[in-house]
Amino acid sequence: MESKRVFYAGVVSNQEIAPHIMKIVLSVGEEAAKARPGQFINIYPKSERLILPRPISICDADTAARTLTLIYDIVGAGTEELSRAVEGDRIRITSPLGNGFRIPDPDSRVILTGGGIGIAPMYFAARYMAETHHKVTAVLGFRKDTFMTKEFRELGCRVLVTTDKPAEDAFLGNVVDCMTINAINADCYMACGPRPMLEAVSKYVVTADEKADIQVSMEERMGCGYGACVCCVTDVKAERADGTESTERLKVCKDGPVFDGRKVVW
Amino acid sequence: MAKLDERAKTLGIDLSVNLAGIRLSNPILPASGTFMPEESGQFYDISELGAAVTKGVAPVPWAGNETPRIAEVYGGILNSVGLQNPGVDAYIENDMKYLADMGMKIITNVAGHSVEDYVQVVEKLADRDEISMFEVNISCPNVSAGGMSFGTDPEMAAEVVRAVRRLTRKPLFFKLTPNVTDITEIAKAVEAEGADGVTLINTLLGMHIDVKRRRATMARKVGGMSGPAVKPVALRMVWQVANAVKIPVIGVGGISTGTDVVEFLAAGATAVEVGTAALADPLAIPRIKSELIDYMNENRFEKISEMKHAFEI
Q: Is B240 helix (H, G, I), strand (E, B) or coil?
A: helix
CB contact, 8 Å: B68 with chain A?
Answer: yes
- Put simply, the answer to whether B279 touches A233 (Cβ < 8 Å) is no
**How large a percentage of chain B has pLDDT more than 70?**
98
Q: Is B43 helix (H, G, I), strand (E, B) or coil?
A: coil
Domain spans of chain B, in order of start:
3-301
CB contact, 8 Å: B77 with chain A?
Answer: yes
User: For the segment B163-200, what is each residue's pLDDT rounded down to a tens digit?
Assistant: 999 999 999 999 999 999 999 999 999 999 999 999 99
Give the span between the Cα atoms of A156 and A147, in whole angstroms.
17
User: Which CATH class name applies to A101-219?
Assistant: alpha beta
Query: Mean of the pLDDT values across residues A133-152?
Result: 93
Is B139 part of the annotated catalytic residue set? no
Specify the DSSP element, H or E, that contains A237: strand A233-239
Q: Tell me the chain A residues in contact with residue B71 when contact means C-beta distances shorter than 8 Å.
A: 221
Domain spans of chain A, in order of start:
6-94, 101-219, 220-259
User: For the segment A233-266, what is each residue's pLDDT rounded down to a tens digit?
Assistant: 999 999 888 889 999 999 999 999 999 999 999 9
Please report the pLDDT score of residue B147 as a whole number.
Answer: 64
CATH of region B3-301, choose from 3.40.605.10, 3.40.50.280, 3.20.20.70, 3.40.50.300: 3.20.20.70
Query: Mean of the pLDDT values across residues A89-105?
Result: 97
Please report the pLDDT score of residue B141 as a whole number.
Answer: 72
User: Which CATH class name applies to A6-94?
Assistant: mainly beta
Q: Is A144 helix (H, G, I), strand (E, B) or coil?
A: coil
**CA atoms within 13 Å, Cβ hemisphere of A14:** 22
Q: What is the pLDDT along chain B (313 residues), one digit of tens a residue?
A: 899 999 999 999 999 999 999 999 999 999 999 999 999 999 999 999 999 999 999 999 999 999 999 999 999 999 999 999 999 999 999 999 999 999 999 999 999 999 999 999 999 999 999 999 999 999 877 676 666 678 999 999 999 999 999 999 999 999 999 999 999 999 999 999 999 999 999 999 999 999 999 999 999 999 999 999 999 999 999 999 999 999 999 999 999 999 999 999 999 999 999 999 999 999 999 999 999 999 999 999 999 999 988 999 8
Give the span between the Cα atoms of B283 and B146, in whole angstroms.
34
- Put simply, the answer to whether B45 touches A232 (Cβ < 8 Å) is no
- Put simply, the answer to whether B39 touches A5 (Cβ < 8 Å) is no
- Using the predicted structure, report yes or no on whether residue A101 has a pLDDT greater than 90: yes
Beta strands A188-192; A40-44: pairing state: unpaired
Chosen for mutation from B3, B35, B67 (greatest number of chain A CBs closer than 10 Å) is B67
Which DSSP string corresponds to B133-156? EEEEE---TT-SSSGGGGGSSHHH
What is the value of pTM for the model shown?
Answer: 0.95
The shortest CB-CB distance from B39 to any of A53, A231, A254 is to A254
- Put simply, the answer to whether A233 touches B67 (Cβ < 8 Å) is yes
A-to-B residue pairs, Cβ atoms closer than 8 angstroms: 102
